[in-house]
Amino acid sequence: MSSTIAMRAVVLLFLLDAAFCGVNEFSWGGPDGIIDTVDPNTENVCLTDQASCGCCLMQQQIHRMKKFFNASLGALEAELAKSKAILNNVRASRSAFSVALTNQDRLKCFGPFRDDKLIAYEHIFINLGNGYDAATGVFTAPRSGVYNLALTVYSDAGSPGNTLAACAALLVNGQVVAGPSDKNMQDQEDSATIVLAVHLQAGDRVSVNLPIGCFLCDDSSHYNTFSGFLLYATD
């Protein structure tokens, strides 16, 4: 509705300009392309020719209205561009993942191994932004910002008296930043959880390492989970 009114106003301006003066001296170049000047001879014309005076005054009013219209349109276009940029930034900032070790019906243990081994979590709850790679178990930060990371480990020793080793290490670019661990011979099963906020740069790689001697057990109840999401971007 507003665009129709604006178009009618523009048409009316041109019709008035043509009707009163026949020729329009002023370009439709926007606020920067139009200089708001008043003809110094207008006063003299008004003294000698009333018809020409009315034409000049009308032309000046049309000129001012055009400048106002162009300035308003330019401001609206600038605000629209700014809003689109903000929206695109919000869309680009959407990054979240949450995965579990497995989704099998029966309890399955991962490890222990003779060497440290990265854990590739198989079951994906959400992978918004596709930052998590299920084949490698690595999450790659799509952009710089503060991320919330959470890791829960769970293990089952199988029977009382066996050694329980529910442990893992959260890595950023191969460096350990945290390591939940529960090793003992008193519990048959137990779990540990860490939650932290870290500042990541675009391209940083976050993963979970299973140290030597540790093992994790999981099934469709999803006892072992690895999650993260972008709190806010810093670039």
Max CA pair span of the chain: 116
Dihedrals phi, psi of 89, to nearest 5 degrees = -65, -40
CA atoms within 13 A on the CB side of 139: 31
Say if residue 185 is in the same domain as residue 119: yes
Residue 148 pLDDT exceeds 80: yes
Say if residue 157 is in the same domain as residue 79: no
DSSP conformation letters of 137-164: TEEE-SSSEEEEEEEEEEEE-SSTTSPE
Domain boundary among the residues 92, 127, 161 is at 92
pLDDT tens digits for range 10-44: 555 555 555 545 444 444 444 554 455 555 554 45
**How do beta strands 181-184 and 96-100 pair?**
unpaired
What's residue 29's pLDDT? Answer: 45
Mean pLDDT, the chain, whole residue set: 80
Q: For the chain, how many structural domains are there in total?
A: 2
Say if residue 175 is in the same domain as residue 157: yes
Residue type, 117: K
Say if residue 206 is in the same domain as residue 102: yes
What's residue 72's pLDDT? Answer: 85
User: What pLDDT band is residue 90 in, cutting at 50, 70 and 90?
Assistant: low
CA atoms within 13 A on the CB side of 167: 16
Q: Of 195 and 55, which is predicted with more confidence?
A: 195
What's residue 158's pLDDT? Answer: 79
- CA distances in angstroms from 183 to 114, 118, 153, listed in the order given: 17, 19, 12
pLDDT tens digits for range 98-129: 999 999 999 989 989 999 999 999 999 999 99
What's residue 159's pLDDT? Answer: 80
What's residue 174's pLDDT? Answer: 94
Residue type, 227: S
What's residue 151's pLDDT? Answer: 96
Say if residue 202 is in the same domain as residue 149: yes
What's residue 86's pLDDT? Answer: 65
In angstroms, the CA 13 to CA 16 distance is: 5
Say if residue 122 is in the same domain as residue 208: yes
pLDDT tens digits for range 58-68: 777 787 888 88
User: What pLDDT band is residue 168 in, cutting at 50, 70 and 90?
Assistant: very high
Say if residue 83 is in the same domain as residue 166: no
What's residue 41's pLDDT? Answer: 52
User: What pLDDT band is residue 181 in, cutting at 50, 70 and 90?
Assistant: confident
pTM above 0.75, yes or no: no
Average pLDDT over residues 74-102: 81
What's residue 152's pLDDT? Answer: 95
Domain boundary among the residues 92, 114, 130 is at 92
Say if residue 58 is in the same domain as residue 161: no
Say if residue 36 is in the same domain as residue 103: no
Alpha helices in the chain (DSSP H): 2-21, 42-48, 50-93
Residue 186 pLDDT exceeds 80: no
Q: Domain with 184 in it: what CATH number?
A: 2.60.120.40
Q: Which domain holds residue 173?
A: 94-233
In angstroms, the CA 27 to CA 74 distance is: 16
Say if residue 77 is in the same domain as residue 110: no
Residue 5 pLDDT exceeds 70: no
Say if residue 109 is in the same domain as residue 9: no
Say if residue 211 is in the same domain as residue 124: yes
Which token pair is 92?
């680009």
Average pLDDT over residues 208-226: 94
Domain boundary among the residues 58, 73, 92 is at 92
